[in-house]
Structure 1
């Protein structure tokens, strides 16, 4: 009887282990740079799950891309409502992939390929060379460029009043243009439309004297 109980327990353990493997989720993909479509190594790939009801975040897996830009990872199936994958590398903009639970497959590998943007910056240098007694105002309007990143400047207006001598940096995707307009109100009214081309991993300065 003890022998039979041992056999049943062993079979149950094997079945549970196999079943657990069968209902896991496998992930793979390739990550490229937006600069020249080259494969990116050492991209940090993280997979988070968000539990049903309270949406608690859990880091379920992490890995990095190999020399060919490829990655593989797996997570156990559990009671969660979605998966969020993040892809991050130094001097590149972080990218996220939101995946509802119903879109995941246990039969096939869940493949997610990404092209991530290299970082670049525009340094605006703003200086009022002839401040008046009052009423000086500069309006700078960003019309195009990257919006969806930490420290990004969403397309819109910035205002500078009175005595101004300042500078600030605006991130953009490397290998693309940033378009903007500016107006100066005071003793003289000026209007300009311009753009800068942002080289990947580099900073381009643009000076406004008014």
Structure 2
């Protein structure tokens, strides 16, 4: 049985392995920007930034827990020595509220990982919906974001516009298999340069036509 500490250690190892860092309590994994010889910018991996996360304060339950029979030992719920991330604590408390599992025989925070496993195994996933996060994802293709939007139940999306953002922020993304082969990598950079140059030429021509009074 995996404990909360072991699960957190594995997640931390993966996070650090991806070059992740935490600033002001918010984790992020940034993707380096590369450039072709012609100066075209591209990425080799995705980046992800947590912009918002739950802020949880279970201490506020004190007055609620003290209102029950003292023999139940509910106030001891607040004395758990293992601290959980706000999101995990929020979901665990929501799940234990359903069964008033605040007494000494409850699942403690140390075993939260197995507790969540039992919840999902029993189909009680609704308690996990209490935790909401906002992420910035970049360095991913439009096909990936389209799949995310297709299955958007319970989520909201905002994307960089392809209509109202200029080519000044244009960046390409190199697929992993292109990075592993010298010839494919060369072709990728050449195609990126041609695409960027062609986009710029067409944009300039459209501006010229607009300046001449043509309807755009």
Q: TM-score range by the shorter chain?
A: under 0.3
Could you say which structure has the greater relative contact order, defined with CA pairs below 8 angstroms and 6 or more residues apart? 2
TM-score of the superposed pair, with normalisation by structure 1: 0.21
Which has the larger share of strand? 1
TM-score of the superposed pair, with normalisation by structure 2: 0.21
Which has the larger share of helix? 2
Larger Rg: 1
